[in-house]
C-alpha cells in the first residue's frame, strides 16, 4: 500500500485521535494479572495492541472486545496464566515483546515470543540481561527475537542501573519484580514514560519512586480497575504538525494525554515557535489529559536539548519535518535510540527528506536539518508507521505530489489516519493493496 499526497490547504477542524498505544498495552497486560475485571474504554484497536490481546488469550486470559473501543479483561491473578499452545507472535510491537519478557520470566511455564521482520531485528539484550540477573532463563538468537523463556525459575529482586532511558526495559523489570523475592529497583539515566508506575499503583501494587530510582515490592494483591485511555499524543503529533506548517489552520485535538513524561514534543515545538494551547486540563483516571488548540506558526530552528529526548522519543520523525519547515538549521543530538526502532529512523528520515530536496547532515546520534521548500518524489517508509505518517504530513506542504511507499504499518498505531488527515484538508489518498 502507498499514499499519494498532494499540496494541501489544511484548514480548521476538530479531531479525536485513537487511544494511547502505551496505555492500551498496559491495560491489557496488567488487567490480565490482576484479580477481577478491568474495563478499558478508548482502547487502541491498532495492530500492536491487538497482538498483545491475542497473546494474552493464548495465555488463557478472557478478553471481550466491544464495538465502542472498550475491552473487558477478566484478570486471572499473578499466577493464573497458563502455558500457551503456540508461539506468541507480537507482530511489529517492541513494547509487547519487552513487557511480555518481564511478565513471563517468572511464570511456572515456558513460552516463546516472536515477531515480524522489523521486530526480529530489534535488540532484546537490554531486557534479557537484567531479567537473567534476576534468575530468569531466556534464550535468544544473539540478543534478537525469537526469545524462548524457560519457566519454573524463582526470581530475585535486583537494583538495576539501566544503561538507556527506556520505559520498555523499566516496565519489563518492574513486572518481573512482581514475581521476585525482595524489592526490585530500576535506576533511570533519565525519566522515561511512567504509565506502568501509574497503572500498577492504581491496581494496588506497591511501587515507589525515590529520585531517579523506581522500585516495586512483590506480595500486594492487584485488583482490576476501570481505565479511560486518553488519546495518544504520539498520534496527535501528526495532525498537530499538519496544522503548524500550514498557512491558515486552526485544529483542535480533543482529549489527548499530556503526561509530562510524554509531552516533550509540545515543549520542543513551542521552543520552535509553535502556537500550541492547552485547554480544559484535567485527569483521566491516573493520566493528565487536555484539549490542544494548534494554530499555523512560523517555525524557527533550535538546538535540541538532549535531556528532552526520552520525553519525545517517538515524535522525532515528525520533529524532523518541523525542522525541514523551519527557518534556519536545527541540530538534533542524543538520538542513538532512534536507530533501533521499527526502522533506523535517522537514516529513514534522512533518505526521504533528501528526496524531497531538504539539506541535511546525518550524524551517528543525530541530524542537522536546514529548513527549505519541500519538493516532490517517492519516499520509502521502511515499513515504519511513524516514518510513513511524518512524510504524509511533510507532503501536504510539498510543491507537487509525493508518493509514500509501504504504509500498511500505519495501522499499528493510528487506524483511521487517512480519514483524520483528510478531514482537516490534507489531500491524501491510499492506494494499492498490502505489499504493493
Ligand X SMILES: O=C(O)C1=C[C@@H](OP(=O)(O)O)[C@@H](O)[C@H](O)C1
Question: With binding defined as CB under 6 A, does residue 193 bind ligand PEP?
Answer: no
Q: Give the position of cell 486540563.
A: 281
Q: How many CB atoms within 10 Å of residue 54?
A: 17
Nearer residue to ligand X within complex by CB, 168 or 185: 168
How, if at all, do strands 184-187 and 159-161 pair?
parallel
Nearer residue to ligand X within complex by CB, 116 or 314: 314
Q: Which stretch binds ligand PEP (CB under 6 A): 92-100, 270-278, 285-293, 351-359?
A: 92-100
Q: Are 391 and 384 in contact (CB under 8 A)?
A: no
Q: Which of 192, 235, 413, 420 binds ligand PEP (CB under 6 A)?
A: 413
Rounded CA-CA distance 294/228 in Å is 24
How, if at all, do strands 275-284 and 250-257 pair?
unpaired
Q: How many CB atoms within 10 Å of residue 399?
A: 12
Q: Are 101 and 150 in contact (CB under 8 A)?
A: no
Binding interface with ligand X (CB under 6 A): 22, 95, 166-168, 171, 192-193, 313-314, 337
Q: Name the burial class of residue 219, with classes exposed (0-12), middle (13-18) and buried (19+) by CB atoms within 10 angstroms of its CB.
A: exposed
Q: Which stretch binds ligand PEP (CB under 6 A): 28-36, 86-94, 141-149, 152-160?
A: 86-94
Tell the smallest beta-carbon distance from residue 399 to ligand PEP (Å): 29
Q: Which of 26, 126, 382, 386 binds ligand PEP (CB under 6 A)?
A: 386
Q: CA geometry: angle at 209 spanning 206 and 212, to 5°?
A: 150
Is 166 annotated to bind ligand?
A: yes
Q: How many CB atoms within 10 Å of residue 97?
A: 28
Q: Which stretch binds ligand PEP (CB under 6 A): 88-96, 158-166, 303-311, 389-397?
A: 88-96
Q: Is 427 a catalytic residue?
A: no
Among the options 314, 344, 365, 384, which is catalytic?
314
What backbone torsions phi and psi does residue 145 show, to the nearest 5 degrees? -65, 160
Indicate which of ligand PEP, ligand X, none lies near residue 342 (CB less than 5 to 8 Å, by partner kind).
Answer: ligand PEP
Is 58 annotated to bind ligand?
A: no
Nearer residue to ligand X within complex by CB, 192 or 396: 192
Residues 338-357, interacting with ligand PEP (CB under 6 A): 341-342
Indicate which of ligand X, ligand PEP, none lies near residue 411 (CB less than 5 to 8 Å, by partner kind).
Answer: none
Tell the smallest beta-carbon distance from residue 403 to ligand X (Å): 26
Is 372 annotated to bind ligand?
A: no
Is 26 annotated to bind ligand?
A: yes
Nearer residue to ligand PEP within complex by CB, 30 or 252: 30
422: which residues sit within 8 A by CB, 6+ positions away?
428
C-alpha to C-alpha distances, 421 to 236, 242, 282, 408, nearest whole angstrom: 11, 8, 26, 16
Q: Are 384 and 118 in contact (CB under 8 A)?
A: yes
Tell me the DSSP string of 403-414. EEE--GGGGGT-
Indicate which of ligand X, ligand PEP, none lies near residue 2 (CB less than 5 to 8 Å, by partner kind).
Answer: none
Indicate which of ligand X, ligand PEP, none lies near residue 167 (CB less than 5 to 8 Å, by partner kind).
Answer: ligand X
Nearer residue to ligand X within complex by CB, 367 or 426: 367
Residues that bind ligand PEP (CB under 6 A): 48, 92-95, 314, 341-342, 386, 413
List, by residue number, the catalytic residues: 314
Amino acid at each position: 500500500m502507498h499514499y499519494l499526497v498532494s499540496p494541501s490547504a489544511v484548514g480548521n477542524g476538530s479531531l479525536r485521535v485513537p487511544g494511547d498505544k502505551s496505555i492500551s498495552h498496559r491495560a491489557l497486560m496488567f488487567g490480565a494479572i490482576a484479580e477481577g475485571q478491568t474495563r478499558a474504554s478508548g482502547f487502541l484497536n491498532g495492530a500492536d495492541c491487538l497482538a498483545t490481546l491475542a497473546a494474552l488469550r493464548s495465555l488463557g486470559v478472557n478478553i471481550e472486545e466491544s464495538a465502542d473501543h472498550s475491552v473487558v479483561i477478566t484478570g486471572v491473578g499473578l499466577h493464573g496464566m497458563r502455558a500457551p499452545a503456540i508461539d506468541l507472535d507480537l507482530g511489529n510491537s517492541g513494547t509487547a515483546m519487552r513487557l511480555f519478557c518481564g511478565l513471563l520470566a517468572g511464570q511456572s511455564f515456558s513460552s516463546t515470543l516472536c515477531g515480524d521482520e522489523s521486530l526480529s531485528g530489534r535488540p532484546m539484550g537490554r531486557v534479557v540481561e537484567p531479567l537473567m540477573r534476576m534468575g530468569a532463563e531466556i534464550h535468544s538468537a544473539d540478543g534478537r527475537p525469537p526469545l524462548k523463556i524457560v519457566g519454573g525459575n524463582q526470581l530475585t529482586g535486583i537494583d538495576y542501573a539501566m544503561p538507556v532511558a527506556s520505559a520498555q526495559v523499566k516496565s519489563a523489570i518492574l513486572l518481573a519484580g512482581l514475581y521476585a523475592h525482595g524489592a526490585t529497583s530500576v535506576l533511570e539515566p533519565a525519566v522515561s514514560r511512567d504509565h506502568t508506575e501509574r497503572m500498577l499503583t492504581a491496581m494496588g501494587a506497591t511501587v515507589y519512586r525515590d529520585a531517579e530510582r523506581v522500585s516495586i515490592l512483590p506480595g500486594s494483591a492487584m485488583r482490576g480497575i476501570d481505565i479511560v485511555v486518553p488519546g495518544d499524543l504520539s498520534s496527535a503529533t501528526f495532525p498537530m504538525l499538519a496544522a503548524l506548517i500550514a498557512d491558515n489552520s486552526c485544529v483542535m485535538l480533543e482529549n489527548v494525554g499530556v503526561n509530562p513524561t510524554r509531552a516533550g514534543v509540545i515543549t520542543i515545538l513551542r521552543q520552535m515557535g509553535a502556537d500550541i494551547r492547552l485547554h480544559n486540563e484535567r485527569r483521566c483516571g491516573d493520566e493528565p489529559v487536555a484539549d490542544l488548540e494548534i494554530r499555523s506558526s512560523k517555525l524557527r530552528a533550535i538546538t535540541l536539548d538532549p535531556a528532552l529526548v526520552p520525553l519525545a522519543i517517538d515524535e522525532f520523525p515528525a520533529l524532523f519535518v518541523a525542522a525541514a519547515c523551519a527557518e534556519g538549521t536545527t541540530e538534533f543530538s542524543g538520538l542513538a535510540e532512534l536507530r533501533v526502532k521499527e526502522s533506523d529512523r535517522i537514516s529513514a528520515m534522512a533518505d526521504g527528506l533528501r528526496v524531497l530536496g531538504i539539506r541535511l547532515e546525518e550524524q551517528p546520534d543525530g541530524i542537522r536539518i536546514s529548513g527549505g521548500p519541500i519538493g516532490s518524489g517517492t519516499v520509502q517508509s521502511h515499513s515504519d508507521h511513524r516514518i510513513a505518517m511524518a512524510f504524509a504530513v511533510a507532503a501536504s506542504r510539498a510543491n507537487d505530489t509525493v508518493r509514500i511507499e509501504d504504509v500498511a504499518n500505519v495501522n499499528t498505531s493510528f487506524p483511521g489516519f487517512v480519514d483524520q488527515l483528510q478531514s482537516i484538508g490534507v489531500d491524501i489518498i491510499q492506494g494499492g493493496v498490502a505489499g504493493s
